[in-house]
């Protein structure tokens, strides 16, 4: 029987692995809600970034005959409109920076707390194994599993997975705008 495509194998494996973290993630649900909220605010700010520049570019590139009377943009004189657009851009950048900071710190804390609990469970499990298991196994392998593989798991989830989610949301938001 041919092997199923990698994605068809990966999704059930991901669900099986995620089951191990359900209780740990449930304990962190409020932190997850706050961090996801910060992620959505950051994505929204990233989608809003070009709008103040749109008004500036439209004002500069609009032919003189098509420009509203008294060089006004949105009912403001040209200088005031450019200042408002600049301040709006700086405000949006500030909101985006705050949201990315809150998201990064929030997900890092969640990841570290979940991984600490996982390491504790692994250590307790290793302590409960019979001495014959420890005599047969290579000590470096156990150390790599407890330290390295668990860190790699956190890195995949926090460092790679969440930026991928944010980028997907930006892509969806960008494609849905007209």
Q: Is the pLDDT of residue 154 over 80?
A: no
Give mean pLDDT, residues 41-45. Answer: 93
Strands (DSSP E) found in the chain: 72-73, 76-77
Cα–Cα distance between 118 and 126 in angstroms, integer?
Answer: 12
pLDDT tier at 7, thresholds 50, 70, 90: low
Which of left, alpha, beta for 166 (phi over 0: left; psi -120 to 50: alpha)?
Answer: alpha
Of 139, 51, 56, residue with least CA distance to 96: 51
Q: What integer pLDDT is reported at residue 162 of this predicted model?
A: 78
The two tokens of residue 112 are 């570290």
pLDDT tier at 30, thresholds 50, 70, 90: very high
Please state which of the ranges 21-35, 94-108, 159-173 shows the lowest mean pLDDT: 159-173
Q: Is the pLDDT of residue 23 over 90?
A: no
Q: Is the pLDDT of residue 12 over 70?
A: yes
Give per-residue pLDDT as tens, 93-131: 999 999 999 999 998 898 889 888 888 888 898 889 898
φ, ψ of residue 72 in degrees (nearest 5): -105, 145
**89 close to 52: Cβ distance less than 8 angstroms:** yes
State pTM to two decimals: 0.74
């Amino acid at each position: 029987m041919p092997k199923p495509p990698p994605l068809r194998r990966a999704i059930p494996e991901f669900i099986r692995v995620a089951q191990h973290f359900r209780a740990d993630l449930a304990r962190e649900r409020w932190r997850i809600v706050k961090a996801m909220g910060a992620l959505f605010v950051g994505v929204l700010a990233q989608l809003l970034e070009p709008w103040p520049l749109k008004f500036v570019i439209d004002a500069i590139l609009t032919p003189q005959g098509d420009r509203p009377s008294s060089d006004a943009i949105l009912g403001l004189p040209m200088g005031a409109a450019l200042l408002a657009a600049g301040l709006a851009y700086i405000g949006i950048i500030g909101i985006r920076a705050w949201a990315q900071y809150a998201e990064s710190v929030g997900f890092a804390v969640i990841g570290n707390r979940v991984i600490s609990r996982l390491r504790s469970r692994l250590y307790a499990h290793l302590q409960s194994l019979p001495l014959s298991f420890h005599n047969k196994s290579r000590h470096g392998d156990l150390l790599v599993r407890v330290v390295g593989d668990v860190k790699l798991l956190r890195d995949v989830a926090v460092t790679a997975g969440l930026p991928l989610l944010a980028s997907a949301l930006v892509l969806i938001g960008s494609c849905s705008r007209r």
